[in-house]
Structure 1
């Protein structure tokens, strides 16, 4: 399986100047290639077609042969990803405002968007902890980088494929791909059902509750601080806002990593699989009052699910997603399903058999039950066709 590792570049003044000139110019040229491809082929632009139209102009702009080819491939890959997202319904159904907006204009790259480098444009010296990287001012060598000993060892042993050059908060980073061996998935003795939510980030069928109240309080405190700082309308206030940018997102990511690590550790120790609700597109399906829209939009349920999925895969723990319909309204004992079973957000009480408990725990139990049958179905051997 592939994971990523980030290293911090430490260029000197001349090297930093070359990087600062290269990244915006590269993205500007990518926007030009994207506009040309969109005008001629719409969303169907391919590498071969873009190469015929744009290669000579990119060479005239100072891009080397490999750099020009790589930039064209990057634009074509962006259109491929956009088409795949449209087919999957990630931008809404046909005719929706969001989808029409995406289909009506070319793909645009930010001035400091990350740019990918392959091994012909970027080489690593792990012993000296330096890289040699292509720029518009020529290839700059001996650019120092810093990382942990564990990351350095992983890079030296298992780095594979392309790396991304990233400029963030005035600092330069390289994000490299590590190809690690994928352990064999064991046959589960059972499943842990995980119900994700806003008040409770994750509630398992075992009754473990990873609450989101502290994260919610932290978000509200951050929102108040932003409002107070913005109200000053001074130069120092703007600098402070820029310094605090993404702090809340980093904190939420840290919390999600902790929750995912705990869930996977329990499953690995007890030799069980992990089951989650398949919640793709929930923001488009669910409507909430105006005062709760910001809260729903900042709900990191997808990130938590992605963290659990990749950590489970890395540990060899079985992972499956199940249908989320009525998991919090269905009685796990008698199967009776109706909205009245969940009278409040926290409480569940079956109106047929009287089973009562925490609604999120009941949802986790229902997810676990669906996972058992789904796992048997997914792993059922294909029938042998008669000769």
Structure 2
């Protein structure tokens, strides 16, 4: 596929000046606008214009809620990317903002390493389990890299983003708990200022 859209964005944003040769990662996302990609949401298919011609009736999967959001709020370009042997089509949706409510007080949240989050209510979300998993993954990576066999490299490739996914999920669960509690009590959330 051509990388012209990515090249134009790089030049327009001011990241490229003078005679610079642009190089792109092989696994970089390919942006498509509405002229190059059309959605048939009811049929769950897309049609993509490529260098080899138009590719029609490419099937995609989505939940009923995602299909409803796509049909009502999809806007702008979509990105096609290839990761771990699978193709992903990421669409931009423009959702309306929720009405702002005046909070009845605030709960302060302090972010850290030992305690991932500590609230002013006295609730602490410990990072002990997360650090134990990181240590276990680091040791496993060290052993597999030292071994260096074909099967060890295959295992390393399978596990390469597992730790990052686990950390992102843990952070999401903790953040969701804090937001749910603040929403239940009608409070706002105040985070520490990490400047400097």
| Distance apart, 1:199 and its partner CA | 0.8
Matched, 1:241 2:183: no
Question: C-alpha distance in 1, partners of 2:170/2:21?
Answer: 36
Hey, what does 2:54 align to over in structure 1?
A: 139
| Distance apart, 1:73 and its partner CA | 2.9
Indicate conservation of the 8 Å contact 1:194/1:204, yes or no: yes
SS state at 2:14 partner:
helix
Hey, what does 1:223 align to over in structure 2?
A: 138
**Structure (1 or 2) with the greater helix fraction:** 1
Hey, what does 2:113 align to over in structure 1?
A: 198
SS state at 2:151 partner:
helix
Matched, 1:250 2:165: yes
Structure 1: unaligned runs, 5 residues or longer: 1-21, 28-67, 83-104, 283-387
Structure with higher Rg: it is 1
Relative distance call for 1:251 and 1:79 in structure 2 (3 A) is farther
Question: C-alpha distance in 1, partners of 2:119/2:21?
Answer: 44
Question: C-alpha distance in 1, partners of 2:171/2:24?
Answer: 29
Hey, what does 1:270 align to over in structure 2?
A: 185
Runs of at least 4 residues of structure 1 off by over 4 A? 105-108
Question: C-alpha distance in 2, partners of 1:79/1:174?
Answer: 27
**Structure (1 or 2) with the greater strand fraction:** 2
Hey, what does 1:175 align to over in structure 2?
A: 90
Structure 2: unaligned runs, 5 residues or longer: none
| Distance apart, 1:75 and its partner CA | 1.9
Indicate conservation of the 8 Å contact 2:7/2:22, yes or no: no
Relative distance call for 1:107 and 1:197 in structure 2 (3 A) is farther
Indicate conservation of the 8 Å contact 2:32/2:79, yes or no: yes
SS state at 1:146 partner:
coil
TM-score, scaled to structure 2: 0.91
Residue in structure 2 matching 1:122, options 14, 30, 37: 37
Indicate conservation of the 8 Å contact 2:41/2:71, yes or no: yes
TM-score, scaled to structure 1: 0.47
SS state at 2:43 partner:
coil
Question: C-alpha distance in 1, partners of 2:107/2:38?
Answer: 44
| Distance apart, 1:131 and its partner CA | 0.5
| Distance apart, 1:219 and its partner CA | 0.5
Residue in structure 2 matching 1:189, options 81, 92, 104: 104
Question: C-alpha distance in 2, partners of 1:107/1:194?
Answer: 43
Residue in structure 2 matching 1:79, options 14, 27, 34: 14
| Distance apart, 1:279 and its partner CA | 2.1
Indicate conservation of the 8 Å contact 1:78/1:107, yes or no: no
1:123-160 per-position Cα deviation (integer Å, ceiling 9, x unaligned): 11111111001211111011111122221221112111
Indicate conservation of the 8 Å contact 1:79/1:107, yes or no: no
1:36-80 per-position Cα deviation (integer Å, ceiling 9, x unaligned): xxxxxxxxxxxxxxxxxxxxxxxxxxxxxxxx4x34432225535
1:146-165 maps to which residues of 2 (within 5 A)? Answer: 146-165=61-80
- Report the aligned-residue RMSD: 2.0
Question: C-alpha distance in 1, partners of 2:83/2:13?
Answer: 21
| Distance apart, 1:109 and its partner CA | 2.5
1:241-293 per-position Cα deviation (integer Å, ceiling 9, x unaligned): 1111110000111111111111111111111111112325x6xxxxxxxxxxx
| Distance apart, 1:110 and its partner CA | 1.1
Question: C-alpha distance in 2, partners of 1:113/1:265?
Answer: 36
SS state at 1:163 partner:
strand
